[in-house]
Amino acid sequence: MIHCPVCNGSVDVAFEPQILYRHKATYDSCHECGFLRARNPEWLADAYSSAITSIVTGLVMRNIHVARKLTKIHLGVLGERGL
C-alpha cells in the first residue's frame, strides 16, 4: 500500500492520463490531506527535453487575452469595490 508523503494517509489512484501522447502517467490522491502527486514520473525528462513550442506560447497568449477581457468585465460589474 502506498502512503502519502505529506501526512502518511492512505492514497488511491486519482486518474491515469496519457502524457505527451506516449506516456501513461499515474496520479495518486491522499484521502486525508488531498495531496496530489505523480507516481514515478518517468516522462519528466522527455517533457523538459525540448524548448517551449509555438503551441505552448499560443496558449499563454490566449490566456493573457482572456485575462484582459475578464478584468474589463470584472471592473464593469463590480467596479473598484471588487478589487
Asked, for residue 1, whether it belongs to a domain, the answer is no
Q: What is the pLDDT, as a whole number, of residue 4?
A: 95
Asked, for residue 83, whether it belongs to a domain, the answer is no
pLDDT in tens, 40-81: 999 888 888 876 665 667 788 888 999 999 988 888 887 766
Asked, for residue 4, whether it belongs to a domain, the answer is no
Asked, for residue 16, whether it belongs to a domain, the answer is yes
The residue range of the domain holding 50 is 11-78
Asked, for residue 73, whether it belongs to a domain, the answer is yes
Per the DSSP assignment, residues forming a β-bridge with 26 are 39
Q: What is the secondary structure of 37-62 as a DSSP string? A: EEES-TTHHHHTSSPPPHHHHHHHHH
Work out the average pLDDT over 5-34.
94
- Count of domains observed in the chain: 1
**In contact, 42 and 20? CB cutoff 8 Å:** no
Q: What is the pLDDT, as a whole number, of residue 20?
A: 87
